[in-house]
Structure 1
Amino acid sequence: MPRFMIQVRATAMSEAGEFPDDPGLVERMMAFQNEMAQAGVLLDGAGLQPSSQGFRVQYTAQGEPSVIDGPFAEAKELIAGYTLIEVRDRAEALAWARRFPSPFPGMACSIEVRPLFCDVLDETAEEAEARLRAELAQMRAGA
């Protein structure tokens, strides 16, 4: 079954390490996650600390890594949390995403939902590459 990641996009508030002033938010989020767990679709989920607590590893074209400590600019490009689900198809992922509680009540915010590639952890490198290439070809073909 396909897996999808629901990404809660960061806001200036989440990047400042502030929690929304809504006493029912945690209860609504927990109830929704419990509902997904009972339906058998929830794989994982958590909030992320602000980017000031993180780092990036950036690579040159030659593959040389360098570490850049946060915080990072453009909060709207960052992720404040995620929920990983496994559902029958895109339509079911969309149905769950539409019911996702607003993560920052009283302010404009968004979540982004993206499918994961196939799970290749139990395959050889050759098998994994072949599956990933096939999945990309299928995606490009519009299937």
Structure 2
Amino acid sequence: MRFMVIVKASKESEAGTLPSQELLEAMGKYNEELVNAGIMLAGEGLQPSSKGARVRFSGDQRIVIDGPFAETKELVAGYWLWQVASKEEAIEWVKRCPNPMPGTEAEIEIRQVFEADDFGEEFTPELRAQEERLRAQAAEWQQKR
């Protein structure tokens, strides 16, 4: 099972405050544990929403909204993508994580990623083949970069 583990933003992360060397070292050690356990597929921190944008879909219209965005508690500061056996295993790993926002109350959200079989009959053999082809092509492009 794959899970996206989402680090929620704080006022500090949205203000562009960078993590301390101590936190970077602690997170580096934690990420090393995740890699050594064979569960970390990806993980990155995100720039503040002031450097981002949203695109709102309204019928055929596309409306671009530049950051920053007001509701800090709803924003994402970073993420991991993990391959684990269960939600319970993901929870246990998150409980071992250093506080991503030292000195404040922080929150990490765990969300299971949809797999092909989750979509049922609507995900036809043709759509499955297309998905596999696109994943292989994306991986190939990443190797070339």
TM-score, normalization by structure 2: 0.78
In structure 2, runs of 5+ residues without a counterpart are 118-124, 131-145
In structure 1, runs of 5+ residues without a counterpart are 129-143
Secondary structure at the counterpart of residue 43 of structure 1: strand
Distance of aligned partners of 1:82 and 1:65 in 2 relative to their CA distance in 1, 3 Å threshold: same
Greater fraction of residues in helix: 2
The percentage of counterpart residues that share the same residue type is 45
* Residue type at the aligned position of 2:16: G
Secondary structure at the counterpart of residue 55 of structure 2: strand
The alpha carbon displacement at 1:65 in A equals 1.4
Secondary structure at the counterpart of residue 81 of structure 2: strand
- Deviation readout 1:21-49 (Å, 9 max, x if unpaired): x4311011011101110110000001000
In 1: Cα distance, 2:79 partner to 2:110 partner: 9
Is 1:23 aligned to residue 21 of structure 2?
Answer: yes
| Residue 115 (structure 1) aligns with | 112
Contact in 1 for aligned 2:5/2:108 (Cα 8 Å): yes
Contact in 1 for aligned 2:43/2:78 (Cα 8 Å): yes
Secondary structure at the counterpart of residue 24 of structure 1: helix
| Residue 11 (structure 1) aligns with | 10
Contact in 1 for aligned 2:116/2:128 (Cα 8 Å): no
Distance of aligned partners of 1:63 and 1:117 in 2 relative to their CA distance in 1, 3 Å threshold: farther
Runs of 4+ more than 3 Å apart: none
Distance of aligned partners of 1:126 and 1:28 in 2 relative to their CA distance in 1, 3 Å threshold: closer
| Residue 52 (structure 1) aligns with | 50
* Residue type at the aligned position of 2:12: M
In 2: Cα distance, 1:93 partner to 1:63 partner: 39
- Count residues with an aligned counterpart: 123
Q: CA RMSD in A?
A: 1.9
The alpha carbon displacement at 1:127 in A equals 7.9
- Deviation readout 1:69-90 (Å, 9 max, x if unpaired): 1110111100000011000111
In 1: Cα distance, 2:116 partner to 2:29 partner: 28
The alpha carbon displacement at 1:66 in A equals 1.3
The alpha carbon displacement at 1:126 in A equals 7.2
